[in-house]
Amino acid sequence: MTAPAARLSPEAFARARAFLLERGRPLEAARFRHAFEGGEAEAVLTALRAYRNGDGGFGRTLEPDVRAPESSVLATALALRVLHDLNVPAAEPLLGGAVEWLRSQLRAEESGTVWPFLPPEAEAQPHAPWWNQQEPGQLAQTFGGFQVNPRAEIVARLHRWPELLPEGLLALLTVEVRDAVLAGLEAGDVNGHHVAAVFAQQEDVPEEYREPVLEYLHDVLPGRVARTPEDFAGYGLNALTVAPTPASPLAPTLEEPLAASLAHLLTSQAEDGSWGPNWSWFGQFPEAWPQAEAEWRSVLTLEALLTLRAWGRL
């Protein structure tokens, strides 16, 4: 007889709830109430609007590691994730504006049609070191020419609302994403694996494009995800980011590391009820990191609760 799976205690859940509602960002607080307490989706949209710019894109520190107010593909992709989770209709103005702005940011390169993560103006504002772009092309070099990240997740989300794109554009982008992933991901590309997994497991993406990516990830992920306490102490690929629910097609491949990840998640809650980042800015913009770190606690605490609920650990 196997022992029952460990769960987050009611007291620990209450501390996490209090943290989100008293100290979290309004966006995560509204998303928590919507997910756990029957809160209105409109409250989430209202909170999301605070990060929207007049051009239809999103910025304004929606992604805490970039403090620039200007619209960015990075922040707009995160807004698209929230809108996708809410399953908003195609007529939602926040969605329409975001998609139109994203279309305006597409860049045709020799290797495909890509979205650069950040505008050049973001360099002047506080940001994490991996977003540095002092030298021409530096950001593209850091993120593999943007071939997989952020393109894979954006394309996967847009398949929910294909009518918002010109005929043929989404099909082109989908083929390019598939081919870019199948060309191979660097073992240390944490976020590349994450967005590739979103693409491979998003049922709105046609199966003929998803399946080859799913097969590739089945092959490589077992040797690349975190498994040990030492792994979890650093910034590595967590199995829960590529298989966020038991229904994830990648979950059967990652049974052992998923168990380790869930055990770590249950034991890494802070005394104040939050979950915090296991990274820092390594001394860059030291005056801005504390605020970014506090915002990350809001984001990560909501993600932890959603993940634990999905796996039946609440």
Domain boundaries, the chain: 10-310
Which residues have CB under 8 Å from 278's CB, separation 6+? Answer: 232, 233, 234, 235
Q: Which residue, among 23, 18, 77, has the nearest Cα to 298 in the 3D structure?
A: 23
Q: Does domain 10-310 have CATH number 1.50.10?
A: yes
What span, in angstroms and rounded, lies between the C-alpha atoms of 302 and 80? 17
pTM: 0.97
- One digit per residue, pLDDT tens: the chain, 314 residues? 456 789 999 999 999 999 999 999 999 999 999 999 999 999 999 999 999 999 999 999 999 999 999 999 999 999 999 999 999 999 999 999 999 999 999 999 888 899 999 999 999 999 999 999 999 999 999 999 999 999 999 999 999 999 999 989 999 999 999 999 999 999 999 999 999 999 999 999 999 999 999 999 999 999 999 999 999 999 999 999 999 999 999 999 999 999 999 999 999 999 999 999 999 999 999 999 999 999 999 999 999 999 999 999 99
**CA distance linking residue 173 with residue 84, whole number of Å:** 18
